[in-house]
Amino acid sequence: MAYVIAGSCVKDDVCVEVCPADCIHPTRGAPDFETAEQLYIDPETCIDCDACVEACPVDAIFAPNEVPAKWQHFAEVNADFFAERL
Amino acid sequence: MSRRTRVAVVGAGPAGAYAAAQLRASRARPDVDVFERLPTPWGLLRGGVAPDHQEIKALADTFEAEVFGRGCRFFGGVEVGTDVHHADLMRHYHAVVYAVGARSDKTLGIENEHLPGSLPATDFVGWFNGHPDRRDLDPLLDVRRAVIIGNGNVAADVARILTRSVDELARTDIADHALAALRESRIEEVVVLGRRGPAQAAFTSAELRELGHMDGVELRVAPEEAELDLVSTEWLDEEGTFTARRNVKLLREFAAAAPQAGARARIVLRFLRSPVALHGASRVESIEIARNVLSRDEAGTIRARTLDGETETIECGLVLRSVGYRAVPLPGVPFDERNYVLPNDRGRVVDGDTRAVVPGVYAVGWIKRGPTGILGTNKRDAEETVARLLEDIDTLPDPPEAGDLPLPDHVSADGWRAIDTTETSAGEALDRPRVKLTTVDELVDAARQPA
C-alpha cells in the first residue's frame, strides 16, 4: 500500500521537495510536468513516511487507509500514471 | 547592502501571493506592500475556485501565513489605475510587480451574442462565488436548458453548480444570493459544447469524472460523440497526455452506461460543435450550432474547422461562454495587444517594440504568461519573476519619495482577518465553511470590526 494524491492537488510541488524517496512525479523539468493535471505518488517506491501529507497546503495527500470515499479511485489513478509512463 | 528595499505587488491573487511570500522569504527580505482592488485577498482562490471544491481553498491558510504572517502589508480596496496610479507607485517603491490577472473574457463573435440570457461563464462564476462586481448579475434560471460553450474546468464548474442539489450547495460557501436563485432554478439540462473532439477535451480527468458521479445528475454522452476520428486516434497514440487518455477512457465508459432512471438533472456532453448564432426576440431562445472536423496543421496542432451546410438548433434560455479569459491593459504600463499580457522577459516588463527593460517593473501570473495553468503553476512563475527582481535589486534606484504612498481608506491585513472571522463565524452556526459578504460596503464594515 502506498500514499495517494487526490484530485484536489493544485501542483504546489512542496511535496516533491520533502519526499525522501523521490516517488512523487512528474517533477519540474520533466516533459510531462506542465501538462500534468496533478502530481502522483509511485506506489512502487513510496515508503509511507507521511512527509508529503504534512507538507501539502491543500491536504490532497492521504495515507492508504485514510483516503476519503470520494477519492478512493485515486489509488488506481496514481498507479496508472506510472504504469503508463514507462 | 543594508538599505531597505520597498516592493509593491499589485493584485493579491495566487500569483501575487506566491510572489509576495517568496520576496519576504528571500535573503534580501524587502518590505512588501500588496495592493488589491477588492477588500479581500487571494483572487480566484476565493472568487474562482468552485464552492463545492472547498478542499482547495485551504491554500488560503498557507497564503495567510506566508504573506501576512511574514509581514507583508495589505491595501485592500485600492485599485491601481483608479485610486492610485503606476507613476505614484514608482515614486514610492523600488519595484512594482503586476499580478493583476486577466479580468475580462474572450467573446465568440457570433450573431446576438449579447442577448439577455447570454453571459460569460466567468461572470456566472463570480456571481456564485460572491464577487462584489457580479452580485447583481441576475442570471436567467427560469428556463429548462442551459448551454455552455467550451469544455474546460470553468465549464465543468458551471455545469456542476447549475445541476448540483441545493442541499449539497447549502453546505458550501456559495454566495447566499446564488443559493436563493438556484433554489428557484428550473434548469434540468446543461449541454456542454466542445469545439474539438473527446481527446482534446479541456477538462482535467478529475473534473470530467466528477461530472459523471454527482448525486441525482445523469451525465449523458452519446456513443457516437465518444468515438475518435483518425486524426485524434493517431495523436492520442503518439503524443496524447495521461489526462487525454483518461478522458477518452472515461467518455467511453459514460457513453456505454445505461441511462439513469430518476435523475433530477442531466449534463450532456457534445463534441466537434461550434456555435454559429444565438436566436431570440428579447432574450436567448435557442442556439444554432455547426459541426466541426479536425485536422493537423504544419506545427502538429489539432485544429477544428467548421463544416458549411447543416446546422442544428438547440432550444435554450441561458448560454454561458467559457472560451477563455483575457487581460485588460493597465494605464502607464506597456501592453502586448496581440497576446494580452504585459510584454516581459522572464518576468521583467519590457517595452513592446524595443524589448528594452522597463526598470523596476515586473509581471507575474496570467498578466505575464496568459491565462494558463493551475494554482501551483503560479508558484514556479513567481519564482522566475522574483529571481529576476532579486538579481536587479541592488541596481534599482531609490525612489524619490521615502514615505508611504498617501492612500484612500483601505482594508488592512487585520481588516481582512476581521472579515474572515465574521464570515467563518456566520458559517459555523449553519455548518458551512463561511457565509460570504458580497458587497464592498458589507466587507468594509466587517473590516472595521475589532478582531
Name the helix (H) or strand (E) containing B238: helix B230-239
CA B329-B335-B339 angle, to 5 degrees, is 95
Residue B49 is which amino acid? V
Cell numbers describing residue B425: 463565524
With beta carbons under 8 A apart, name residues in chain A contacting B13.
Answer: none
Is residue B436 pLDDT above 70, yes or no?
Answer: yes
Answer whether B3's CB lies under 8 Å from B385's CB: no
Query: Any idea which architecture B6-103+327-410 has in CATH?
Result: 3-Layer(aba) Sandwich (3.40)
Cβ pairs bridging A and B (under 8 Å):
63
Residue to mutate among B18, B44, B53, B55, with most A CBs inside 10 A, is B55
Q: What digits encode the pLDDT tens for the residues B254-300? A: 999 988 889 999 999 999 999 999 999 999 999 999 999 999 999 88
pLDDT bin (cut points 50, 70, 90) of residue A16 is very high
pLDDT bin (cut points 50, 70, 90) of residue B408 is confident
Contact with chain A for residue B55, Cβ under 8 A: yes
SS3 for B217-256, per residue? EEEECCHHHHCCCHHHHHHHHHHCCHHHHHHHHHHHHHHH
Q: Which of A12, A84, A85 lies nearest to residue B376, judging by beta carbons?
A: A12
ipTM of the complex: 0.96
With beta carbons under 8 A apart, name residues in chain A contacting B55.
Answer: 8, 58-60
Specify the pLDDT at position A1. Answer: 77
Specify the pLDDT at position B188. Answer: 98
The chain B residue lying nearest A39, using CA atoms, is: B376
With beta carbons under 8 A apart, name residues in chain B contacting A12.
Answer: 59, 62, 375-376, 379
The chain A residue lying nearest B239, using CA atoms, is: A32
Q: If you ran DSSP here, which 8-state letter would residue B261 be given?
A: T
pLDDT bin (cut points 50, 70, 90) of residue A86 is low
pLDDT bin (cut points 50, 70, 90) of residue B2 is low
Specify the pLDDT at position B451. Answer: 59
With beta carbons under 8 A apart, name residues in chain A contacting B245.
Answer: 84
* CATH 3.50.50.60 domain range(s) in chain B: 107-321
Question: How far B408 CA sits from the closest chain A CA (Å)?
Answer: 34
Q: Rounded to whole angstroms, how far apart are CA atoms B203 and B207?
A: 6
- The answer to whether the Cβ–Cβ distance between A58 and B374 falls below 8 Å is no
Specify the pLDDT at position B176. Answer: 98
Place of cell 461572470: B123
Question: How far B243 CA sits from the closest chain A CA (Å)?
Answer: 7
- The answer to whether the Cβ–Cβ distance between A10 and B246 falls below 8 Å is no
Which residue ranges make up each domain of chain A? Answer: 4-85
With respect to CATH, is domain A4-85 assigned 3.40.190.150? no
Q: Which of residues 411-450 of B touch A (CB under 8 A)?
A: none
Query: Any idea which architecture B107-321 has in CATH?
Result: 3-Layer(bba) Sandwich (3.50)
Q: What digits encode the pLDDT tens for the residues B395-406? A: 999 999 999 999
Q: If you ran DSSP here, which 8-state letter would residue B80 be given?
A: B
Is residue B3 pLDDT above 90, yes or no?
Answer: no
With beta carbons under 8 A apart, name residues in chain B contacting A27.
Answer: none
